[in-house]
Structure 1
Amino acid sequence: MKYLALLITLVLGIPNASSYQNNNNDWRLELDREGVSVYLKKIEGFEIHGIKATIDIRATKKKLVSIINDVENYKSWVADCNHSALIVTENPSESVSHLKFDSPWPIQDRDVFFHRVLSESNDNQFSLTFTASSDYLIEESCCVRIKRAIGKFSIIEKKENLSQVIYEFVSDPGGNLPNWLVSYILTDSPYTTLSNLRELAENQVELSAN
């Protein structure tokens, strides 16, 4: 687990989630829409830029953690995800998930196995780090397997019923992708994911209050 946290730090080049908003020198703001900010940064060893997206959500950290831990329901809010399953639970803080993503015709769909690690710091900050793993099922003809990807969700409770979510991701999606699709992956996809997360969380909060 310590190795994975170090790997995330080295690849994404950021010391810790609490300093993201104060460490934007290397990040370029690419999209700022409806409360979602998406930044891009060149990551050594990857052809496609790394993503950092942020959003404030009117929900507790506990509520957001419960949604992010519900892998089976990812397809209801993660952009273009059409399949999500928890494959292996190694211990309470480590697991493996399998996700599939739609791609526009004629581009093949993608799938990935993620090794997931949950942690909570002394300052009550939650994080989920995930890295692509090739140690599981053989590749399927329907999908191109994503073999290199690193990401992180961080949740910081700013005050009662208001939390900041920070999403980081960099990957090699495999194959030759047209520029318009790369642009979508880097901006529209994280925007949609965080917008959907906000809608889901805030709707659940509203329902529980009634």
Structure 2
Amino acid sequence: MMRRYVGILLLLFSLLQADNWELTKESDGVAVYTRNVEGSPFLAFKGVTVVEGSVDALVAILYDTPAAPAWLHQCRLAMTLEEVRFEENYVFQIYDLPFPVSDRQLILRSTLFFTENGVRVEMHEANTFCDEQQSDRCQKAKASDLIPIKRSRGHYLFIPQDEKRTKVIWQHHIEPGGSIPGWLANALVVDVPYNSLSDLRTLVKEEKYRSMTIEKLQRLWQKQYKAFH
């Protein structure tokens, strides 16, 4: 009985620790929280905001891969490598980092889930995806030859608040790989979610996203898939 009681206490403690976020910055409707990650020198972040746009419009932005540099902080290039299915894609990205740090590259596996509360998009680094792929897009990714981001794992949550507004929660943990000064790492863990979500709030108001629905997006995706396969 005592062992069971101790086990329950340890479980409760771990759950409390898992949600131990510290508010680091809050301004203009965007809040950024950070927390330690066991075994990593880099903090995880959670950005939270409410946008004037629908869940469908936000999903449309994520699926507009070439437009990522318009809102994703320090992203210079983004390219879809493979459309496995509508809910699963592989994306290649290049990030500009301030001097004297070298730029970084990343391959992400992105998976979309429809939930009772909205949409969840999971992201996980998949830097070996192109190792045995011979597609033109993978060849372009290999040609960049930049330092790969070692770890990039997180998710977006899009939760409708009413007919016109959606709550966005972006939680992520990144290990950039290579050598990076501590001051820059600490700055990026705040700047990336804050600036990205600030620009996302502006971009989602554009007509091409506001008029988009999941059904239209799926039809467009089917046309794109047929064109590349």
Q: What per-residue deviation string (whole Å, max 9, x for no partner) do you get for residues 115-155 of structure 1?
A: 1100111x241011110012234666752101321011110
Question: For the structure 1 residues 206 and 152, does the alpha-carbon distance in structure 2 shift closer, same or farther, using more than 3 Å as the test?
Answer: closer
Larger Rg: 2
Q: What per-residue deviation string (whole Å, max 9, x for no partner) do you get for residues 85-135 of structure 1?
A: 0001111211100000001122100110001100111x2410111100122
Confirm whether residue 99 of structure 1 aligns to residue 102 of structure 2: no
Aligned partners of 2:66 and 2:79 also within 8 Å: yes
Confirm whether residue 63 of structure 1 aligns to residue 57 of structure 2: yes
* Aligned equivalents of 2:207, 2:27: Cα separation in 1: 23
TM-score, with normalisation over the residues of structure 2? Answer: 0.75
Aligned partners of 2:54 and 2:210 also within 8 Å: no
User: 1:150 matched to which residue of 2?
Assistant: 153
Aligned partners of 2:58 and 2:209 also within 8 Å: no
Identical aligned residues as a percent: 25
Aligned to 1:106, the other structure's residue is in SS state coil
Question: For the structure 1 residues 105 and 199, does the alpha-carbon distance in structure 2 shift closer, same or farther, using more than 3 Å as the test?
Answer: same
Q: 5 Å matches for 1:27-176?
A: 27-121=21-115, 123-137=116-130, 143-176=146-179
Query: Which runs of 5 or more residues in structure 1 are unaligned?
Result: 1-12, 15-22
| More helix by percentage | 2
| The 10-residue stretch of structure 1 (91-100 or 63-72) with the greater mean CA deviation from structure 2 | 63-72
* Aligned equivalents of 2:99, 2:64: Cα separation in 1: 29
User: 1:201 matched to which residue of 2?
Assistant: 204
| More strand by percentage | 1
* Aligned equivalents of 1:203, 1:73: Cα separation in 2: 12
Deviation at 1:179, TM superposition (A): 2.5
Deviation at 1:24, TM superposition (A): 8.9
Deviation at 1:42, TM superposition (A): 0.9
Query: Which runs of 5 or more residues in structure 2 are unaligned?
Result: 1-13, 132-141, 212-229
CA RMSD of aligned residues (A): 2.4
* Aligned equivalents of 1:51, 1:207: Cα separation in 2: 28
Aligned to 2:204, the other structure's residue is in SS state helix
Confirm whether residue 26 of structure 1 aligns to residue 13 of structure 2: no
Deviation at 1:176, TM superposition (A): 2.3
Aligned to 2:40, the other structure's residue is in SS state coil
Deviation at 1:206, TM superposition (A): 10
Aligned to 2:184, the other structure's residue is in SS state helix
TM-score, with normalisation over the residues of structure 1? Answer: 0.82
Aligned to 1:75, the other structure's residue is in SS state helix
Aligned partners of 2:87 and 2:112 also within 8 Å: yes
